DNA sequence: GTGATAATGATAATGATTATCATTCTGACT
DNA sequence: AGTCAGAATGATAATCATTATCATTATCAC
């Protein structure tokens, strides 16, 4: 990314103004609401470029990529298989053990993805 | 899955006779080599059905699902971003901490996926 | 054997993402 | 100010894994 163009700045603003985990369509829709509509291909390219620069974070779910603000400390995710809600958690002991695993395998770790799937507290009380 | 049909048994056999992590196309190709060709839709359905019954395991990578034998103890994966190789590891302390995280969030855990991305030992010595 | 149910397989459809390509923008340099 | 090159944009086509459709076939209970 050479330039933080107006379009990419607009994408970044959308993502930075909430704690959501956005997919490309949601970003495009928010931009349209915003009266700054941007072509969907440009949204995809912008998201990829911003993530590459570390200006936003990405998580890869089964079906699609989602993006979030980069200005929080590193965390991983709990995903409700019922409502799709995404919660966050931070557990440095796990990260340490991951590094240990990598070194045990002579593996130079570049990143990781830990997803916990299950039922969130809200969905637990649904069928009553 | 009502029946373990001949086709599904053939899929299961292919997967059980190696330690690979198979995608649907690879399974279909192996079956053709085997002189037991099976329609690709049937392969997809068979893999899903076998995984649902716990007869095989699945992992969801960024682009596609892969399947492996279910007769090993639970493990997670190291994925080389250079050659695509998949190694396995087992770290019960991590699993315990995952359960702790879930309980801290009143989250009923159903499953998890931990992927460590990086460079495997073989690829590390490449550019010399 | 007959009928209900499930599975198969060829093919079409879906959905997220990427590629193409003509057009527009930007910034550096006259 | 004008020119030029490299980037970015956006409409659209293409890709690729997976799922849906649907007519046909297999299987099981009676
Ligand atoms: Mn997050
Ligand atoms: Mn494995
Ligand atoms: Zn939920
Ligand atoms: Zn490698």
Q: What is the pLDDT of residues B17-74, one digit of tens each?
A: 999 999 999 999 999 999 999 999 999 999 999 999 999 999 999 999 999 999 999 9
Q: Is the pLDDT of residue A2 over 80?
A: no
Does residue A47 sit in the same domain as residue A81? no
pLDDT at A128: 64
HSE of B65, CA atoms in CB hemisphere, 13 A:
15
Q: How many domains does chain A have?
A: 2
A111: nearest CA partner in chain B: B117
Q: Is the pLDDT of residue A33 over 90?
A: yes
Does residue A41 sit in the same domain as residue A82? no
B124: which 2 tokens?
Answer: 């590390």
Q: Provide the CA A128 distance to its chain's centre, in angstroms.
A: 33
Does residue A29 sit in the same domain as residue A63? yes
Which CATH number characterizes residue B91's domain? 3.30.1490.190
Q: What is the mean pLDDT of chain B?
A: 95
CA distance A90 to A116: 12
pLDDT at B2: 73
Which CATH number characterizes residue A33's domain? 1.10.10.10
Read off the pLDDT of residues B94-105 as tens digits, 9 standing for 90 and up: 999 999 999 999
pLDDT band at B126 (very low <50, low <70, confident <90, very high): confident
CB-closest option in B60, B97, B108 to A93: B97
Q: Is the dihedral of CA A124, A119, A91, B100 positive or negative?
A: positive
pLDDT > 90: what percent of chain A? 94
pLDDT > 70: what percent of chain A? 98
CA distance A1 to A8: 10
CA distance A66 to A47: 9
Q: Is the pLDDT of residue B128 over 70?
A: no
Q: What are phi and psi of B66, to 5 degrees?
A: -125, 150
Read off the pLDDT of residues A92-126 as tens digits, 9 standing for 90 and up: 999 999 999 999 999 999 999 999 999 999 999 87
- Does residue B1 lie within any of the structural domains? no
Q: Which of B105, B106, B125 to mutate to test the interface with A (most CBs of A within 10 A)?
A: B105
Per-residue pLDDT, averaged over A39-64, amounts to 96
A44: which 2 tokens?
Answer: 């995809």
Find the nucleotide nearest A46 (Cα to C1′): D8
Which nucleotides in chain C lie closer than 7 A to a protein CB? 6-12, 15-20, 26-27
At residue B56's C-alpha, the angle toward residues B102 and B61, to 5°, is 60
| Nearest alpha-carbon partner for A68 in A1, A18, A31 | A18
pLDDT at A18: 95
Does residue A63 sit in the same domain as residue A81? no
Distance (Å) from the C-alpha of residue B19 to the closest C-alpha of chain A?
18
Residues whose beta carbon sits under 7 Å from strand D: A 1-3, 5-8, 38-42, 45-46, 49; B 3, 5-6, 23-25, 40-41, 44, 48, 63-65
Q: Is the pLDDT of residue B127 over 80?
A: no
Strand residue runs (E) in B27-107: 56-60, 65-69, 76-80, 86-89
Does residue B14 sit in the same domain as residue B62? yes
Question: Which structural domain range is residue A31 located in?
Answer: 6-69
Amino acid whose CA is nearest the C1' of C9: B39
pLDDT band at B117 (very low <50, low <70, confident <90, very high): very high
CA distance A3 to B9: 55
CA of A88 from ligand 1 middle (Å) equals 6
- The DSSP code sequence of A41-69 is HHHHHHHHHHHHTTSEEEEE-SS-EEEEE
Q: Is the pLDDT of residue A13 over 90?
A: yes
């Amino acid at each position: 990314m050479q330039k933080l163009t107006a379009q990419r700045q607009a994408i970044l603003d959308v993502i930075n103004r909430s704690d959501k985990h956005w997919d490309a369509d949601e970003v495009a829709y928010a931009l349209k609401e915003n009266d700054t509509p941007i072509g969907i291909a440009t949204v995809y390219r912008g998201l990829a470029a911003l993530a590459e620069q570390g200006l936003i974070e990405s998580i890869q779910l089964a079906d699609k990529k989602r993006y979030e603000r980069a200005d929080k400390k590193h965390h991983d995710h709990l995903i409700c298989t019922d409502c799709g809600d995404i919660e966050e958690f931070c557990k440095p002991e796990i990260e340490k053990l991951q590094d240990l695993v990598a070194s045990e395998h002579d593996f130079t770790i570049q990143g990781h993805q830990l997803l916990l799937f299950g039922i969130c507290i809200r969905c637990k009380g649904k069928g009553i």
